[in-house]
């Protein structure tokens, strides 16, 4: 079994894992289905968050540092896409 050397010169880990069987069709399908369900759950959570934020009045939105027109963009953006100083939990 071939190994990779780490930056200190020692052995890091094996390149292959010959003892593990390749995943079967059902295992692969289950993993893909689980990922799809997770993505659908996150999409539903985003929609609920958008509805909740749109139900707030403008003064409350201003208190948490949001404008009504920015709700969709902020909720749909990933964490790294948000403005540098923007933190809704602060």
Angle at 69 between CA 65 and CA 72, to 5 degrees: 90
pLDDT of 20 reads 67
pLDDT of 90 reads 43
User: Along the chain (90 residues), what's the average pLDDT of each consecutive run of 10 residues?
Assistant: 56 61 82 91 92 94 90 80 56
**Would you list the domain boundaries of the chain?**
23-90
pLDDT of 77 reads 81
Cβ neighbour number for residue 18 with a 10 Å cutoff = 7
pLDDT of 23 reads 73
């Amino acid at each position: 079994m071939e190994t990779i050397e780490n930056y200190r010169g020692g052995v890091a880990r094996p390149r292959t894992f010959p003892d593990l069987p390749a995943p079967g069709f059902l295992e692969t399908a289950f993993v893909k289905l689980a990922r799809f369900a997770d993505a659908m759950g996150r999409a539903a959570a985003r929609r609920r968050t958008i509805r909740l934020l749109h139900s707030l009045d403008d003064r409350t939105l201003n208190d948490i540092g949001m404008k009504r027109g920015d709700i969709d963009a902020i909720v749909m953006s990933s964490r790294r896409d948000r403005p540098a100083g923007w933190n809704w939990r602060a």
